Amino acid sequence: QLQLVESGGALVQPGGSLRLSCAASGFTLDHYAIGWFRQAPGKKREGVSCISRSGGRTDYVDSVKGRFTISRDNAKSTVYLQMNSLKPEDTAVYYCAATAVSVEMCDTEMEYWGKGTLVTVSS
């Protein structure tokens, strides 16, 4: 089955930047919509961003619009989340997730999940 592995999480100061990566194995990603989710300590998991299978559609939660950018390179079976102007409230475990789709859609229920990478924003 599809396996997703996140990387790039780190401790970063407020205002700093990180780029998270989600690498797929088992299958290429060209038929999968991908989402980034996060779960902060003591809070529910929330959707952060998603991208359609060829990159034609992207969505972001309001709290990260203008600061985060999702992208994908299907040839490398990798999806990225560029995070700029990081705030302490961005601190969370970030997960990537995927589901097979036949159209250029983004927000949908996700079937496969990675194990997460921790982002800590603190001075």
d(CA 122, CA 60): 23
Query: pLDDT tens for residues 39-58?
Result: 999 999 999 999 999 999 99
Is the pLDDT assigned to residue 1 strictly greater than 90?
Answer: no
CB-based contacts of 71: which residues, under 8 Å, 6+ apart?
A: 51, 55, 79, 80, 82
pLDDT at 67: 98
The confidence score (pLDDT) of residue 108 equals 87
* Tens-digit pLDDT profile for residues 105-123: 888 899 999 999 999 999 9
Query: Using CA of residue 57, residue 63, residue 66, residue 71, what is the dihedral sign?
Result: negative
**Given this model, what pLDDT does residue 29 score?**
87
